[in-house]
Amino acid sequence: MRRILSTTQRELTVHFPVRMADGVVQVFTGYRVQHNTTRGPGKGGIRYHPSVSLNEVKALAMWMTWKCAVVGIPYGGAKGGVVCDPKGMSAQQLETLTRRYTTEIELLIGPDRDIPAPDVNTNAQTMAWIMDTYSMHHGYTALAVVTGKPLSIGGSEGRNEATARGAVYTIIEASKHLGMDLEGARVVVQGFGNAGSFSAKLMAELGAVIVGLSDTSGAIANTKGLDPNRV
């Protein structure tokens, strides 16, 4: 068992071209890794980031195997990513990149094989593009090929803040163990994307004081507290 779980089941590396706004064709590298699908279809997000690497995706796919198993969800572990800087790309370029990437990994994913989800720098719109591209290739609407879709095409209520709620529930339990009162506790949040922003809002609702926030663009601090809803 240890030998089986110490390695990945499948690894796919793809290279695909995308025409940028200046007309230059840039070749991007993407990955999709299935660590283990013994318990069911692979499950794991897709991230867009300049530092994405095969080793990182393999490690994250392994974590998904453990996470699904620990909470008794009948899925295996998988993960994907594209090496890119989405913050410097237009919505049209991101759509083109997503659809090309989906075309390349389409042989691995599917409702009964491997189900992607949002992750770093990807969101419900990204999942809609993946679902649409996969559906066009297969000739029928395959809503179940991804999770984290917009509500209008079968997404789940509460999905946007789900990761943050998980983090906050963990903080609540940790504070009980430490005998710490979250009312008035000072909190700094590193990363103010989907998970970070919702975590800050939820912590503020619990009475914590958000004294610092940061992301890749910089950081702000206020010892008297920040309002996450206004940042």
Give pLDDT tens digits for 8-59: 999 999 999 999 888 899 999 999 999 999 999 999 999 999 999 999 999 9
Give pLDDT tens digits for 127-174: 999 999 999 999 999 999 999 999 999 999 998 899 999 999 999 999
Last residue of a domain, one of 134, 157, 180: 157
- Check whether residue 150 and residue 212 sit in a common domain: no
Catalytic annotation present for 79: yes
- Check whether residue 138 and residue 164 sit in a common domain: no
Between the alpha carbon of residue 187 and those of residues 43, 126, 162, 193, 217, the distances in Å are 31, 31, 20, 16, 19
pTM of the complete model:
0.88
Active-site position among 79, 87, 176, 201: 79
CB crowding 88-101: b at 16 or more within 10 Å, else e = ebeeebbbbbbbbb
In sequence order, which residues have a C-beta less than 8 Å from that of residue 45 and are 6 or more positions away? Answer: 60, 79, 80, 116, 117, 118, 119, 120, 122, 148
Give pLDDT tens digits for 212-229: 999 988 999 999 999 999
Query: Is the C-alpha dihedral spanning 130, 8, 31, 49 positive or negative?
Result: positive
CATH of the domain at 91: 3.40.50.10860
CATH of the domain at 184: 3.40.50.720
- Check whether residue 211 and residue 117 sit in a common domain: no
- Check whether residue 15 and residue 52 sit in a common domain: yes
